[in-house]
Structure 1
């Protein structure tokens, strides 16, 4: 690597070092513009984590000899792409946070009906510039001593990983799949806490952070918006163009409803639930009296059916199934509320209605 770089016009190799603690002192002495890392796997993850911790804003180029890929990292966020030339990777300007992605490559991990329904809905109604590939993992033990042996033989390049597994063991594969796919972001919905426990979420967040991959864990999936997820006091904000682009089309339901003569005449689904429930509800609300629309939306949500968990979440005081239904009803209510009659009530004598 050193031989390749020395003598290149405009490039100066100011130092080299092995994978040892003293290399960080050397970096601090010379303060390079770019650090090139020739390591892979867990060794690469550990180096990246410490580099970003000690040198915020440093540009890091990783030459991965295992798969002949070059990855570029900046401010703990992966912004690179596969390139053929190491010198090009060092020279090229960083581009991140610009216009929203015009295309998106999605790799989905599915196990059963829950994930398959989501994949089919995204394929059917996602933007034309999206491609969606899916993979069904084999039967897995509860604990994976060596996750590598359970990974697919080929992981296609992807911008976004959708982790739709139905067992914690599947979630353990997410970081390795994200690394192989050179992914920019991960969405791992929590529609059943048993599928993705909070302790495992924290582990995944740390491992993905080391890889420079943004990850969100919406609970339920249909709480995801373009800048945050979760409900009530657990609301979490994020900033990632790939996740935001996905959430423009799938996440917390948003409708545009037209009513005439007290009846729902037409509904446009501005943002569908990832599973397709919002579109299902919208198709059945046409012709329903406005006064019944909110209630009927809740019924149709259950009839779809919603596959979120039915056990009470202590931190939320409710089931994810019920909370998901509330989001669906609220999406309808915000559109029809101006047309609903105000509830009648008594105003005590001598008091004004306005307060």
Structure 2
């Protein structure tokens, strides 16, 4: 499967005044894209030498065929959203649009279809990234051009649904709503935690290493909470009226639930 990523450039979260619109490139460039490099070719599954690093980068380029960086600051009104695309999209199967201007997002279904794409994922780490009206208009465009779609809020809420290509993306990239396989002994002590599906930010691999030696239940959940907080989730800390909670809070509960939903394998020792 070939992936196209469309995101804003990195930049600080500062306010430039009401004449400008600021988009967020931090989540895409500092969390998602680096994590995709790792989940495609895990370092703990290979010998650490220069050949492996070259092979890892080649595999990333083969799977993530193009990363389109858009500005992170715009005038309040955009006359022509298409002027920000200075190059055509390469052929791809699925596009991921992260933290981009709403006027540009609306144009994506047509452009994705023109480039051979069949699916669009729009992660929402903040209530300010996308209004319901724009989401509905983007879905209209997806339906018009026969594009599968998902708007996970946050990205780690992405799970299997009715769209086959998006389901295949979750399976192939092993990314979305987190899932562990836990190997435990007769005393319910975790001997090893294997990541089956990682979070898009990449924190689940870090958490998995801290679970070894912890007891299933409260102790394991406390470890998840500790190392989830230490990684600094980038989800919005303001209440999202649509979900009645903060996105960062939702992200935390998704991580905690990975213990309850884990695949458990008992090992006799």
SS in 2 for 1:109: strand
Work out the number of aligned pairs and report it: 225
| Map of 1:253 onto structure 2 | 178
Q: Distance in 1 between matches of 2:102 and 2:35?
A: 24
| In the alignment, structure 1 residue 330 sits paired with structure 2 residue 257 | yes
Q: Distance in 2 between matches of 1:243 and 1:209?
A: 15
| Map of 1:122 onto structure 2 | 36
TM-aligned CA deviation for residue 288 of structure 1: 3.1
TM-aligned CA deviation for residue 315 of structure 1: 3.3
SS in 2 for 1:270: strand
| In the alignment, structure 1 residue 159 sits paired with structure 2 residue 122 | no
TM-aligned CA deviation for residue 254 of structure 1: 0.4
SS in 2 for 1:307: coil
Provide TM-score, normalisation by structure 2: 0.75
| In the alignment, structure 1 residue 197 sits paired with structure 2 residue 113 | no
Mark the CA change 1:173 to 1:330 in structure 2 (over 3 Å): closer, same or farther. Answer: same
Q: Distance in 2 between matches of 1:173 and 1:281?
A: 38
Higher relative contact order (CA 8 A, sep 6+): 2
2:202 to 276, 288, 293: 276
| Map of 2:51 onto structure 1 | none
| Map of 2:193 onto structure 1 | 267
1:136 to 47, 52, 69: 69
Cα RMSD, aligned residues only: 2.4
Q: Distance in 2 between matches of 1:317 and 1:115?
A: 25
Runs of 4+ in structure 1 displaced over 4 angstroms? 127-130, 336-339
In structure 2, stretches of 5+ residues that fail to align are 9-24, 42-58
Deviations 1:31-56 (A, max 9, x none): xxxxxxxxxxxxxxxxxxxxxxxxxx
Q: Distance in 2 between matches of 1:145 and 1:153?
A: 19
Q: Distance in 2 between matches of 1:209 and 1:287?
A: 49
Larger radius of gyration: 1
Q: Check conservation: 1:221, 1:274, Cα contact below 8 A.
A: yes
Within-5 A mapping of 1:206-245: 206-227=140-161, 238-239=162-163, 241-245=164-168
Provide TM-score, normalisation by structure 1: 0.58
Q: Check conservation: 1:163, 1:186, Cα contact below 8 A.
A: yes
